[in-house]
Amino acid sequence: MSKLKVLCFSVSVDGFGAGSDQSFENPLGIRGMSLHEWFIPTNTFQKMHAQINDGSKTEGTFGIDNDFASKSFQNIGAWIMGRNMFTPERGPWKDFSWKGWWGETPPYHTPVFVLTHYARPPLEMEGGTTFHFVTEGIEAALEMAKDKADGKDIRVGGGVETVRQYLNAKLIDEMHFAISPVLLNSGENLFKKMNLIELGYSCVEFIPTEKATHLLFNRLK
């Protein structure tokens, strides 16, 4: 049976999952890339980056951080993301030329369901990724993802507001946050006015490394 999971979601010490002022120059907002300094050196990211950019560097680091990075792509049959993760563009689509940040071969290799208020035709990419643009809300996107996942798990990729919506709806089964040792001070706060205890979540494991502290949560009720 499919589970809905948040995996390898990087958060600052002060609770921000993205910086402020997202733009084409700063896809994750100002200083947002600093959240992922645990992830970028890993073998998993380096191989993914080489695939996207047709490069040759694929070694990267191994160890606990890479273990989490690698596992986050295993048994995933579909993804869900908010429009802000797909593009910094706001409002009605000016045209359909933007195809995401990831080049012609995105790293998902599954159907990806993008939450948006504005309809757009499906976008089929190389490597098995097809972006579907869902205007009917989070539950509709989840049902579509389950239908396409073929029994595998579904991963909520982000951004922060998308994770918050699924959390508040008590639809997420498991979560893995990587707490990065950085302060952002502003941006999108993942836990603002969020009561994880009342929502039924419990921290079941934490594993510190040199670059992050990995926290695992399960929904117990």
Q: Domain segments of the chain: what residues?
A: 4-219
pLDDT at 220: 86
The pLDDT, as a whole number, for residue 55 is 57
Average the pLDDT over 118-128 and give the result. 97
Strand order from edge to edge, sheet including 4-12: 123-124, 130-134, 111-115, 76-82, 153-158, 4-12, 174-180, 213-219, 201-208
Digit-coded pLDDT (tens) for 141-196: 999 999 999 999 999 998 999 999 999 999 999 999 999 999 999 999 999 999 99
Provide the CATH topology of domain 4-219.
Dihydrofolate Reductase, subunit A (3.40.430)
Q: What is the pLDDT of residues 19-56, one digit of tens each?
A: 999 998 998 999 999 999 999 999 999 998 777 665 55
| Region at 70 (left for phi over 0; alpha for psi -120 to 50; beta for the rest) | alpha
- Indicate if the pLDDT at residue 57 is higher than 90: no
**pTM for the structure as a whole:** 0.94
